[in-house]
Amino acid sequence: MDYVFNNETEARTFSKVHGWETENVEEIALKISALPKASGTHKRITVITQGSDPVVVAEDGRLKLFPVILLPPKEKLVNTNGAGDAFIGGLLSQLVQ
């Protein structure tokens, strides 16, 4: 895969299953992006969302953190189901453009 998307819980579970002994999301992102690929035509980019904490992007041994724009107070939020899927859909739509 050229792109791997996780949320912080999925990333920490992946780390635990692979015996990496870290829960640090940034470290996990770097490790995932460095995993071997069958095709060497593109480097792997790992994107980990963390709710209201910054989005972590790892590529080629480098990290970038993207702050999350805060929404109105929690009591005004109706439902966050699918927020990660919507984020990934928006990101992928911009990549193909």
Q: In this predicted model, what pLDDT tens digit does every residue of 17-66 receive, in sequence order?
A: 999 999 999 999 999 999 998 887 788 999 999 988 999 999 999 999 99
Residue-level pLDDT at 84: 84
Q: What is the CATH number of domain 3-96?
A: 3.40.1190.20
**pTM above 0.95?**
no
**Which member of 2, 53, 60, 85 is catalytic?**
85
Q: How far apart are CA 51 and CA 73, in angstroms?
A: 14
Known catalytic residue: 85?
Answer: yes
